[in-house]
Each structure stands twice: as C-alpha cells, then as structure tokens.
C-alpha cells in the first residue's frame, strides 16, 4: 500500500492497433509486432487525498516497438484543460503509477515499461460513451481522434458482442470488446481503421480495481 489515498470511477475507452481481442489481454505477442494505443477516461467520481476529481478527463497516447512487457515504450498524457492545477497534479501522480501498490494497477504496470515520457499536455478532451449500444468516441484537437463501435459480423453485418472477464485484471474486471478506428498526430502517430478496442468502467484505488 502507498502513502497516497485515492479512488477514481468512470468510463474508459481503450483502442489499439492489434486485431480484435487484443493478444495482450491473454499474454500473447501483439498482432503486428508492435503495440500502439490511444486511451481516455472520464472520472465521474474520484478524489486524490482531499482533492476532488469529479468530471475530470484524461487521455493517453502510447507506443511500444514490440510487446509491452519488453519495454522501451513512449507515452504522451493529456489532462482536461478544465482541471485546475491541483487536479492536474493529482491525475498525473495517479497516471505515473508512483502512487499505486507495485503491480496492482494498469498505471504502475505500464509506467514500468516506458522509457520516454513526453511533457504532459493541457487541452480540451471530447469524450462520449453509450453503454446501451457500446459505442464511444474521444478526441483531443491536434493529437488524437478515436472511435469505438461493436465488432461487425462479416456474414450478416450485425453486431457481434464480446465481453471479457479478468478476475485478476489490473485494469478492469470486465470489459466489452469492440472495434476501433483511431488517428493520432504529433510525437506518437497512430493510424488504424479496424483495430481492437474495449469499453469498461474503471473503478480503481492504489490497490487495484474494485470489484
């Protein structure tokens, strides 16, 4: 356990360049040799010690030359421009992984694989999610535009629903797997039209996801 007490809860949209299902979720190598990802979250309820984080959004752009666990990754983090300075510092401390118990959260696990972290950006973050239809969209002007929608059955054209449960997951316990279309610019370019995506509710403390 760390000395910092925090909790965040809200929807997350994650997109990556791998095939549907994302091999990383099953400890397999990435589909195309490398891993590139765009992620965003809206914190509906949250705090870092005495700082309220309700309504704050954050986004991240990531890239690894091989499998994530092999390291040498790079990341660029974006904090909602509406966040005040205290909220901004709090979110960055959570995302850095330094306030997590080792190995307990996705933030700490990913931080251990990064060798290059670009200066964080303060910018407007658009974020929409529809749990009924399992669609989502997030964007940061000049940085990223990402869309998520159900996987389409190639024969019938109907939505193909897929939900994954990870009882010991360090990001989520359950997520809806979807298809993603993502474009990113700048330090970490992203570009795919039928990649993996998942939509879930993040409910996290320094000790990991809350059941």
Answer for the pair 53, 87: CB distance below 8 angstroms, yes or no: yes
The number of beta carbons lying within 10 Å of the beta carbon of residue 34 is 14
pLDDT at 138: 98
Task: Report the distance separating Cα 128 and Cα 41, nearest Å.
Answer: 10
- Distance of alpha carbon 41 from its chain centroid, rounded? 7
What are the start-end ranges of the H helices in 96-138?
A: 106-111
- What is the pTM assigned to this prediction? 0.95
* Overall average pLDDT of the 106-114 stretch: 96
* Overall average pLDDT of the 136-147 stretch: 98
Reported as a pLDDT band with limits 50, 70 and 90, residue 211 is confident
- Paired tokens of 7: 């909790």
pLDDT at 4: 82
């Amino acid at each position: 356990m760390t000395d910092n007490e925090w909790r965040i809860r809200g929807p997350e949209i994650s997109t990556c360049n791998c095939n549907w299902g994302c091999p990383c979720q099953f400890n397999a190598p990435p589909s195309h040799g490398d891993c590139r990802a765009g992620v965003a979250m809206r914190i509906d309820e949250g705090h870092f010690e005495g700082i309220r984080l309700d309504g704050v959004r954050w986004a991240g752009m990531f890239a690894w030359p091989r499998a994530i666990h092999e390291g040498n990754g790079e990341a660029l983090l974006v904090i909602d421009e509406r966040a005040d300075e205290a909220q901004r510092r709090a979110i960055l401390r959570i995302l850095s992984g330094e306030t997590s118990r080792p190995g307990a959260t996705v933030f700490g696990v990913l931080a251990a694989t990064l060798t290059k972290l670009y200066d964080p950006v303060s910018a407007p973050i658009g974020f929409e999610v529809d749990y009924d239809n399992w669609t989502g969209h997030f964007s940061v002007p000049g940085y990223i535009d990402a869309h998520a929608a159900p996987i389409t059955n190639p024969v019938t054209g109907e939505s193909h629903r897929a939900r994954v449960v990870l009882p010991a997951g360090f990001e989520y316990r359950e997520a809806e797997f979807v298809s993603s279309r993502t474009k990113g610019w700048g330090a970490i370019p992203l570009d795919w039209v039928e990649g993996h995506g998942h939509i879930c509710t993040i409910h996290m403390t320094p000790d990991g996801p809350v059941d």
